[in-house]
Amino acid sequence: MAVKDAWTHLKEFTAARIALGRVGGSVPTGPLLDFRLSHARARDAVLTPFEPEVLGTELEALGEEVVLLQSGAEDRAIYLRRPDYGRRLDEDSARLLKERENEEADLVLVLSDGLSTSAVMKQAVPLLEILLPMLRRDGWKLAPICVVKHGRVAVQDEIGEILNAKVSLMLLGERPGLGSPDSLGAYFTYEPKVGRSDADRNCVSNIRPEGLPLAAAAVKLCYLLNASRELKLSGVELKDESPLLERGEETSSLGTVGDGG
């Protein structure tokens, strides 16, 4: 017989796995099956094939120019085993960008699958529907949006350098947790160029309806990008001095990390 946990009444306040109860020395069947389902969803988030063409079509429907690119990782298996391949463009993609007549831009947006394909496919375009008007309102001159297959965080530095962008902002799927297989991460770098370190970047993470809502994430990103442009820096020297989020929007984080490698 399952023994009820004394913390059961606290479960309504968190999605964390607490107060599971027990049967002898094991957890009950229900929580065990729920754990296995979450694990399967996390694996699916990593292994589901990325469809950059679909994402590109959705972005073009917003009136945006889109460039489809490929990292140095030829397939998902190589991408997972060799993070360094995902940090650079392949030769054809680098040549494609260099052959463009690029005018200096304030900001280049880069989208990639990262470690959760479902995150970028579900959250990226709805987030940009909110963020893009805010950026244009504040006078940002945008480069074409780059969609990179099998990209890691650092690939934004190479793209920003080639396109002469003052700032690069990358949206990609974060490493999925058991309860959060669809979290989107947003990383930005001032004066992007090959060789930048994670200390030069900022990150707004856990962007999803159950974490940091999209509207709140757009406000946070717009504030930080404007601060980065004004102060001409990013990374550990850029502090988040924006007003506190309203209750219910607090599950965000700002840091200087590179979870997507």
Q: How far apart are CA 20 and CA 10, in angstroms?
A: 11
Q: Is 125 annotated as a binding residue?
A: no
- Paired strand residues for 201: 189
Residue with tokens 């709805």: 126
Distance in angstroms (rounded) separating the CA atoms of residues 39 and 214: 25
Q: How far apart are CA 38 and CA 43, in angstroms?
A: 9
Of 169, 148, 149, 144, the closest CA to residue 66 belongs to 144
Determine whether 2 is exposed, middle or buried from the number of CB atoms within 10 Å of its CB (0-12, 13-18, 19+): middle
H or E segment to which residue 221 belongs: helix 214-231
* Calpha distance 165→103 (Å, rounded): 9
**222 a known binding residue?**
no
Helix and strand totals (H; E) in the chain: 8, 7
- Tell whether residue 153 is among the known ligand binding residues: yes
Annotated binding site: 153, 174, 203
Binding residues for adenosylcob(III)alamin: 153, 174, 203
